[in-house]
Structure 1
Amino acid sequence: MSCSHYMAQAMIQRSAPLPFMKMHGLGNDFVVLDLREGEDVMTPDLARAVGDRRRGVGFDQLATIHEDTEADARLVFWNADGSQAGACGNATRCIARHLMDTTGRIELHLRTERGLLTARDGGNSLTAVNMGAPILDWREIPLADDVDIDALPIDGAPMATGMGNPHCTFFVDDVTSVDLSTFGPAHEHHPLFPQRTNVQIAQLNGPDRLRMRVWERGAGITLASGSSSCAVAVAAHRRGLTGRSVTIDLDGGTILIDWRDDGVWMTGPTAHVFDGLLTPDWLEAHQ
C-alpha cells in the first residue's frame, strides 16, 4: 500500500466526527467517549474545550472507555479544568449501566486508577459499584503531614479520607448556611492537601441519613459526587454519627452507601441523556 494511501487514510480519520454520550448520575453530569476501537485523542486542552458549557458540551467530569486485557473496560476520568481524577463513582455507575444494557451482563469489572472495581445491576433501574476500601493512611490519601485524619488541624476539625480522590469532610449543623462557592475553593487548595481535595459539608438528618453538599477539585460545585458520598459515609461512621449503611441526600438526589467488608458500595440511579458528535472542524481547532 502506497505512502499516499496511508496519508489519505490518516486524513480521513482526522476529519471524522467524534461520537460521545451525555450521561448523569443524580445531576452529576458526564461526557463519555468510547475509545475502545480508536486512538486516545483526549488531552488536557481538549478536555477543557469539551467541558466549556457555552462553547463546548459541558460536564462535571469527562470519561473515556478503553480496552483492557484483564477487565471488561478501563476508564480514565478528566475534570473540567483539564486535570485527571483518580476516581469518579457516578461516572463509573453510568458507564457500567451502559455496558450492562449493551451486553446483557449484570456484573462487570472495570479498571480505574482506583483499581479493579466491580459493578452490578442493583435492581429497580439502579446501578451499584464497589469503590473499594477507604484509604485511611495519611501518606496515601495523601496529606502533606502526619496528622490525625479524624480531626484535621483546620477550623471545624474536618476528616480526611481517600476514595481514589482526596476528600475533606466537614460536619455542620446546616449545610445551607455554608457559602460553598468560597468555602470549597479555599479548602480545595489547603496546603495540607498536596494534590488538592474534594470538599464535603454534611449534616446528620436522622438515623443513618445525611444531607451533603460538595465542591469537587477541578470541577467546583456539583449536584452530586460518588466518591465524595463514599468518603462522607466512611467519615460519619468513624465519627460515630451513623452505622455503616447510610442514605445520603445530595443537591441532585439520593444515593445509598454501604461500607461492607469488601469495600464501599454505592447504589443509585443513572441516566443516558443523549448521543452527539464533536465535529471535525471543532476538534481540529481544539487539538
Structure 2
Amino acid sequence: MTVDFVKMHAHGDDFVVVDRRGKLDPITSDLARRLGDRHRGIGFNQLAVVLDCDDAAARVRFWNPDGTVLDTCGSATRGVADMLMREANASSIVLKTNRGLLTCVRGPDRRVSVDMGTPLVGWQDIPLAEAVDTNALPLSGNPTACSMGNPHCTFFVDDLAAVDVAAIGPGIETHPLFRNKTNVHFVQILGRTRIRLRIWERGGGIPLGSGSCCCGAVVGGIRRGLLDDSVDVECDGGMVNVQWDGTGGVVLTGSVEPVFRGTIADHLLQDNARGGARGTVSEDRPRQTPGQQLEKVTIRL
C-alpha cells in the first residue's frame, strides 16, 4: 500500500494532508504519533485525513502529533479546502468534520475563508468539570473559555513578551476544570481590531499559529467587550483575520501554502499494520485527578 501526503502550512501552523478518498484509511493513533515526530517522522501540528463523504465534498479527520483525535482544525481545514477547490476549479466547498459541515471559500493570493460554526460557551459544551461562568473562570488570571469544536481558554495580558508560555501552558492544559484538556491562549490587545496571540496547544505545545485558537481568542475578547467584530490576529507565524458578529458562525481567513509532497515509508505502514511501532515512546503527560482543587495552578501574568 502506498500512502502519499502533502505538507502545508497556514501562517506557520504546519499540517500534513493525507488524501484517502476511495482508499483504505491506514492512520491510527500510533502511526499519527510516529509521523508527528519532528525528528523521526514528518512533523506537524495537525494531520488531516481526507475521506469520502456522501453529504459533502469530503470528510476530514484530524490528529494531533501526540496521537490524539481532535474535532476541528481551522488551518488544516483551509488547507484541505484549498487543495480540493483547486482540483475541482471551484470557488467554494463544503467539508464534513466532527464539528459539522464547514463552508470554505477561496479568495485571492491563496487566501481561504472557513466558517468554523457558532462558538459554544456553556460550561457543559466546552466541557468543564463544574458549572462556572465561562466568561470569568475561577482561575488565577481570570480567563475566558469557549469551544470551537475543541476547548479554548484565553488569558488577557498587558505584556505578552513577559509571559512564559512553556511554563504556564501545560498546567492549564491539564487542569482538572477542563474535562478534555484545553488549548491555552495569551492575548495582548493592540486595539479593538488587532491582537497579538501566543498559544499553548492541547497535545502539541507551542505552535507558530493555530486557526481554531485564533477564533477562540477573538471570541473571548468580543465576549469581554474588548474587541470589534473583525479582528486581525498576529501570531508568531503570521497574520489571520477572524470575524464574529456575536451570534453566528466565526469566519477565519488567511493564506495557506503547500510546501512539499511525499510518500510514507513502507516500514512505518508495516509496523502500523502489525499493531506496534519499534522505538516509540509515549509523550502523554500525567493528568491531574478530578479531586484536586481548581486553584492548583497559580498564574502570574
With structure 2 as the length reference, what TM-score do the two structures score? 0.88
Aligned residues of 2:15 and 2:45 also touching (Cα < 8 A): yes
Q: Does 1:267 align with 2:253?
A: yes
Residue of structure 1 aligned with 2:26, choices 41, 49, 61: 41
Q: Does 1:118 align with 2:80?
A: no
CA shift for structure 1 position 240: 1.1
Aligned residues of 1:184 and 1:199 also touching (Cα < 8 A): yes
Aligned residues of 1:122 and 1:267 also touching (Cα < 8 A): no
Aligned residues of 2:30 and 2:67 also touching (Cα < 8 A): yes
After TM superposition, the structure 1 = structure 2 runs for residues 186-225 of structure 1, keeping only pairs within 5 Å, are 186-225=171-210
> 1:101 is aligned with what amino acid?
R
Residue matched to 2:242: 257
Residue of structure 1 aligned with 2:133, choices 110, 130, 148: 148
Aligned residues of 2:191 and 2:227 also touching (Cα < 8 A): no
Please identify, of 117-126 and 47-56, the stretch whose mean Cα deviation from structure 2 is larger: 117-126
1:55-78 Cα distance to aligned partner (Å, 9 max, x none): 111111101001110001100000
CA shift for structure 1 position 39: 0.7
Residue matched to 1:62: 47
> 2:269 is aligned with what amino acid?
L
1:42-61 Cα distance to aligned partner (Å, 9 max, x none): 11000001001111111111
Residue matched to 1:278: 264
More strand by share: 1
> What SS does the corresponding residue of 2:42 show, helix, strand or coil?
coil
- Aligned mates of 1:84, 1:177 — CA distance in 2: 32
With structure 1 as the length reference, what TM-score do the two structures score? 0.93
- Aligned mates of 1:59, 1:221 — CA distance in 2: 12
> What SS does the corresponding residue of 2:107 show, helix, strand or coil?
strand
Bigger Cα Rg: 1
Moved over 6 A (4+): none
Residue matched to 2:232: 247
Residue matched to 2:17: 32
- Aligned mates of 1:60, 1:281 — CA distance in 2: 23
Residue matched to 1:104: 89
> What SS does the corresponding residue of 1:221 show, helix, strand or coil?
coil
CA shift for structure 1 position 124: 3.4
- Aligned mates of 2:218, 2:63 — CA distance in 1: 24
Aligned residues of 1:49 and 1:286 also touching (Cα < 8 A): no
After TM superposition, the structure 1 = structure 2 runs for residues 72-83 of structure 1, keeping only pairs within 5 Å, are 72-83=57-68
> What SS does the corresponding residue of 2:155 show, helix, strand or coil?
strand
Aligned residues of 2:31 and 2:268 also touching (Cα < 8 A): no
- Aligned mates of 2:97, 2:159 — CA distance in 1: 34
> What SS does the corresponding residue of 1:140 show, helix, strand or coil?
coil
After TM superposition, the structure 1 = structure 2 runs for residues 7-22 of structure 1, keeping only pairs within 5 Å, are 16-22=1-7
Unpaired stretches in structure 1, ≥5 consecutive residues: 1-15
> 1:271 is aligned with what amino acid?
E
Aligned residues of 2:158 and 2:188 also touching (Cα < 8 A): yes
Residue matched to 2:293: none
- Aligned mates of 1:203, 1:57 — CA distance in 2: 32
Unpaired stretches in structure 2, ≥5 consecutive residues: 274-301
Residue of structure 2 aligned with 1:129, choices 89, 94, 114: 114
Report percent identity of matched pairs. Answer: 47
> 1:125 is aligned with what amino acid?
R
CA shift for structure 1 position 99: 0.7
> 2:172 is aligned with what amino acid?
H
- Aligned mates of 1:135, 1:272 — CA distance in 2: 31
